Amino acid sequence: MNLPVNFKKSVLTLLFITCFHILHAQHYVFFLHNKFIEENYLNDSHPEYGKAEYFQIVSAFKRRGLTVISEIRPRNTDVHDYAAKVVGQIDSLLLAGTKASQITVIGTSKGGYIAQYTSSLLKNPDVNYVFIGSCDEEDVVKKNDINFSGNILSIYEKSDVPHSCQNMKTKSGNVVGRFKEIELNTGLKHGFLFKAMPEWIDPSARWAKGNYDVPAHRKVILSKKVNAPAEMDALLSAETQTPFNGIVFVSENGTSKFSKVFGSPDFKKPALFKFDDQFVIGSISKQFTAVLLLKEFERGRVKLNDPIRTYLPDLNESWADTVTVHHLLTHMHGIVALDKPLSFQPGTKYSYSQIGYDLIAKITEKTSGKSFALQSKELFKKCKMYNTFHPGVKGYQNLMQGYTKNENGKIEPEADTFENYVAAGSCISTAHDLALWNKCLHEGKLLSAATYKLMTAKQKGAVRNHPIFGVVEYGYGITVDKNDGILQLGQTGFCPGFVSMNFYFPETKTSIIALENVVWDENNLKKTFSYHTELLKIIRNSNLVKRNR
């Protein structure tokens, strides 16, 4: 059917206007975090207030329909310089046609002071601001360069040192359109703004949407419900100088609950990851090695308390007569090199080791009559892990290049990925295959119930001061965590160019797997694993794990 030209133009014009209004109906929030986040890593805990829930806060604003602009500031950021940066970003939005009333700057503590300076510099009476825990009685005298403008909501905690912003508002010479204050009474002192509490997030979100009718006081009921997918998405998609680059997969009883890729496999090409992309999984490999040894144990070919010379008679050092298979499995052997004395008497100390698992692989080769590569291949086939490989078996086709940030701040392709023993940390796998591994191992398809119980039991003395998690207890090739009454089994993995994590929660049959091909700081594992630890925290607080609690 031929329509009149004028009618077509009218329709197109109407569509353009509609799209324009939809686009510019967004409400933008600049969230500026506190000083603790600026000066510490995200998984660090304040001695009094605990961990700062930055990503949970950002996620909470997004769930309320707000477009959030936020980043983790560099350490020792100058408040004036950063306020000028925010002003420039707001000017860009205004230039693009966004209404001033649809822009809100929300700041907590030091971030609140940056928001105040932004208000002073911008001098736009229609932009909204929320200052949280960031006014002090002495500011009137000490901060003469702050002059509020815009629509201002002040939120402070009764038990905290910062108080009302009323005096600062009174002395300001700029136009303040609306001004309102909320006093909370949580008893958490300054710690209230560390948490993603609806008591301050809800009124802040209402203010950002132009709902200026917020109550002046809030009665607080401390409760928290975690929306795991939303919080993980907010964590992994947040703008930062060290973004997550890889794949995250969460499954419950075989059903995907979260499956997403972030970043690019190649820093020179704008491509996306695919879910069958392969990563080197580091120490997660130790679970495979431990299972192969335990299968030899079940066949009667290996005894756990035998000295390892029983199986490796060519070892020259005398310690081969005192170190047992059990010592190798639990990292309590003291071996530092095949031609050197022990660093301690076997069974008396714990020292995380790579060489011990290489010796386990050599034992299984002797007792099974098969190469470790062939044993691994058969194990993976049994679990239908068709994209998992011993690196010596050249069947993999989608292995990602690993990258490491060098001392000059440049991301370089990693050349030493396979420097570790394969049995200790160089197997290749995918997120989906690791979920299959969890199902195969933990649902009784590989080991007898008695042997599985032995593998996943906390072994006496096998306690590590972990560089990421603190005190961690080990079974055979796997960590065993029962904190908060939640059984968590699994392992992190690190090798040059790759960072990985695979944990399983038997009560709900939940797996969380994170595979990344960038190491941002090889000298600081706590920083390198910051995303992984936050993901784990989100899952542990979600109904995927705590459903019946």
Give the C-alpha separation, 13 to 25, whole Å: 18
Please state which of the ranges 11-25, 369-383, 406-420, 523-537 shows the lowest mean pLDDT.
Answer: 11-25
Average pLDDT, rounded, for the chain = 90
224 token code pair: 């928290």
Q: Between vectors from CA 529 to CA 67 and to CA 456, what angle results, nearest 5°?
A: 120
Phi-psi region of 109 (alpha: psi -120 to 50; beta: other; left: phi over 0): left
Is the residue at 236 inside a domain?
Answer: no
Q: Decide if 448 contacts 464 (C-beta within 8 A).
A: no
Question: Of the residues 174, 194, 224, which one is the last residue of a structural domain?
Answer: 224
At residue 79, the pLDDT reads 94
User: How many beta carbons lie within 10 A of that of residue 254, not counting itself?
Assistant: 11
Q: What is the pLDDT of residue 424?
A: 95
| Residue 306: per-residue pLDDT | 98
SS (H, E, C) 97-164: CCCHHHEEEEEECHHHHHHHHHHHHHCCCCCEEEEECCCCCCHHHHCCCCCCCEEEEEEEECCCCCCC
Q: Who wins on pLDDT, 137 or 416?
A: 416
Order of strands, edge to edge, in the sheet holding 67-69? 67-69, 28-32, 103-108, 128-132, 150-157, 176-184, 217-218
Residue 433's domain is classified under what CATH number?
Answer: 3.40.710.10
Cα angle vertex 66, ends 538, 146, to 5°? 105
Residue 260: enclosing H or E segment and its boundaries? strand 255-262
| Position 535 in a domain | yes
Q: Is the pLDDT of residue 281 over 80?
A: yes
Model pLDDT, residue 241: 85
| Structure tokens, 438 | 């969890």
Same-domain pairing of 23 and 172: yes
Q: Which of 17-26, 224-233, 280-289 has the lowest mean pLDDT?
A: 17-26
Helix (H) or strand (E) holding 450: helix 449-455
Q: Which of the listed residues 190, 224, 258 is the one where a domain comes to its end?
A: 224
Neighbours of 158 (CB within 10 A): 13
Task: Compare 126 and 139 and report the one with higher pLDDT.
Answer: 126
Asked if residue 215 is part of any domain, the answer here is yes
Q: What is the pLDDT of residue 394?
A: 80
Q: What is the pLDDT of residue 1?
A: 44
C-alpha dihedral over 61, 63, 67, 73, to 10 degrees? 40
Share of the chain above pLDDT 90, in %: 73
Do 239 and 348 touch, CB atoms closer than 8 A? no
Q: Do both 264 and 145 map to the same domain?
A: no
In this structure, the answer to whether residues 162 and 273 fall within a common structural domain is: no
Q: Which among 477, 237, 444, 437 has a CA at the least distance from the CA of 357?
A: 477
Q: Are residues 210 and 256 in the same domain?
A: no
What are 443-500's pLDDT values in tens digits? 999 999 999 999 999 999 999 988 888 889 999 999 999 988 899 999 999 999 999 9
pLDDT score, position 471? 86
Q: What is the mean pLDDT of residues 105-112?
A: 96
Residues 50 and 176 in one domain: yes
Beta bridge partners of 497: none
Are 60 and 177 within one domain? yes
- Which residue in the block uniquely carries the two structure tokens 């419950």? 252
pLDDT at 23 over 60: no
Phi and psi for 438 in degrees, rounded to 5? Answer: -60, -45
Specify the 3-state DSSP secondary structure of 291.
helix
Please say whether the beta carbons of 70 and 58 come within 8 A.
Answer: yes
- The CA–CA distances, whole Å, from 218 to 33, 185, 202, 203, 214 equal 22, 7, 11, 10, 10
Q: Residue 454 burial (CB < 10 Å; 0-12/13-18/19+)?
A: middle
Same-domain pairing of 183 and 90: yes
Alpha carbon distances (Å) from 216 to 21, 164, 213, 236: 33, 12, 9, 35
> Cα 270 from chain centroid?
23
Q: What range defines the domain where residue 252 resides?
A: 246-285+371-546
Distance, CA of 467 to chain centre: 16
d(CA 540, CA 505): 9
Verify that 122 and 268 share a domain, yes or no.
Answer: no
Residue 203 has pLDDT above 90, yes or no: yes
Nearest to 404 by CA among 387, 416, 421: 416
Tell me the pLDDT band of 354, cut-offs 50, 70 and 90: very high
pLDDT for residue 514: 98
Range from 13-27, 221-235, 455-469 that averages highest in pLDDT: 455-469
Identify whether 445 is part of a domain. yes
Q: What pLDDT score does 244 carry?
A: 95
pLDDT (0 to 100) of residue 216: 53
User: Does residue 234 lie in a domain region?
Assistant: no
Which one, of 380, 377, 523, 348, lies nearest residue 445 by Cα? 380
Return the closest-CA partner of residue 384 out of 440, 441, 446: 440
What is the percentage of the chain residues whose pLDDT exceeds 70? 92
Lowest mean per-residue pLDDT among 139-148, 290-299, 500-509: 139-148
- Residue 69: the pLDDT is 95
Can you give the pLDDT at residue 105?
98
> Is this model's pTM higher than 0.95 or not?
no
Cα 510 from Cα 439, distance rounded (Å): 9
277: confidence class by pLDDT, cuts 50, 70, 90? very high
13 plus 158 within the same structural domain: yes
Average pLDDT over residues 174-195: 90
Co-location of 382 and 503 in the same domain: yes
Distance (Å, rounded) from C-alpha 179 to C-alpha 293?
69
Instruction: Please provide the DSSP assignment of 451-520 as one string.
Output: HHHHHTSPPTT-EEEETTTEEEEBSSSSEEE-GGG--EEEEEEEETTEEEEEEEETTTTEEEEEEESEES
Q: Kindly state whether residue 173 falls inside one of the protein's structural domains.
A: yes
Q: How far apart are CA 276 and CA 153, in angstroms?
A: 48
Predicted pLDDT of residue 12: 42
Taking residues 156-181, report their average pLDDT.
85
What's the rounded Cα separation, in Å, for the pair 9 and 346? 85
Tell how strand 128-132 and strand 103-108 pair up: parallel
- As a whole number, mean pLDDT of residues 314-328 equals 97
Task: Using the predicted structure, report yes or no on whether residue 247 has a pLDDT greater than 80.
Answer: yes
Parallel, antiparallel or unpaired: strands 518-519 and 50-51: unpaired
Give tens-digit pLDDT for 74-99.
999 999 999 999 999 999 999 999 99
Residue 505: its pLDDT value, please?
97
pLDDT digits (tens, 9 = 90+) for 291-303: 999 999 999 999 9
Residues in the chain: 549
pLDDT at residue number 19: 43
The reported pLDDT for the residue numbered 432 is 96
- Print the SS3 string covering 353-410: CCHHHHHHHHHHHHHHCCCHHHHHHHHHHHCCCCCCECCCCCCCCCECCCEEECCCCC
Report how far apart, in Å, the C-alpha atoms of 353 and of each of 190, 224, 284, 328, 391 are.
42, 40, 13, 9, 20
- Whether 35 maps to a domain, the answer reads yes
Q: DSSP labels for 55-75?
A: HHHHHHHHHTT-EEE--PPPT
For residue 161, pLDDT beyond 90: no
Does 361 reside within a domain? no
168: domain CATH number? 3.40.50.1820
Average pLDDT over residues 347-357: 95
Find the helix or strand (DSSP H, E) in which 252 lies: strand 246-252
Domain count, the chain: 2
Q: 100 and 33, same structural domain?
A: yes
Q: Max CA-CA distance within the chain?
A: 97
- Residue 269, pLDDT score: 79
Are 121 and 190 in the same domain?
A: yes
